[in-house]
Structure 1
């Protein structure tokens, strides 16, 4: 018989990684996501987090729920602001990594959520931190709606 002892902290982190990869996958190729955004005329929601951020764990629960229910309205991508070892293609097709991209997008204060267009241009002010949790899902939905409205407005010009 084989036993495995896993600390509760490790188990929780392992579960968090599994959940994150479902509805909030890490960004790998934002140029491809940007092309999708242009073609679909839908926004991209970027979620900036850090591994040791307790507020990020709480914010992620809300983001997972919204990403699951609104995946038809936006593309959801996770940026790990403290990961220089995680490669990324930026919106212009240039190779970089998550930490450098987070600095460039001013997403180093975590959690931060930004809704952008296919070129990576913000469509609404970012949601920084974890304000009143009872309204956090509403704030996320509002970001998506604001992004959609900005894209419609740009299309009508």
Structure 2
């Protein structure tokens, strides 16, 4: 099972960003039915016709949780963000750090950065400066611009 985005995510994003939600949903529909973690995660990003905001938020969270449980790194990262900031769920910095770690170890650069920050500041886990900087560097090397900017400005590297 792939735990990082594939061409499916790239094609979905092009359609979604162009506002063609019908084509975007059609692209992932069959993959959702067969249990693709990536497609389930993509499905969580937009509402359905006649779906209330509350219904959308409940379904979206459920799909993110399912995709994360299936090992899909972007879903693990998103769930970590939800837990860190209290979006759709109660704040839980320990669980947030755990999800960031899972996604970071799978090779997802945004999660590497967040996991590094959690280690650096001791949020949800024990501080570890050297390991933190290593994860943030890996994130920057993986193309995360926020991590690269952080390293440019951080004085204690």
TM surpasses 0.5: no
TM bucket normalised to smaller:
under 0.3
Q: Structure 1 or 2: larger strand share?
A: 1
TM-score normalised by the chain length of structure 1: 0.23
Q: Structure 1 or 2: larger helix share?
A: 2
Higher RCO (Cα < 8 Å, 6 or more apart):
1
TM-score normalised by the chain length of structure 2: 0.23
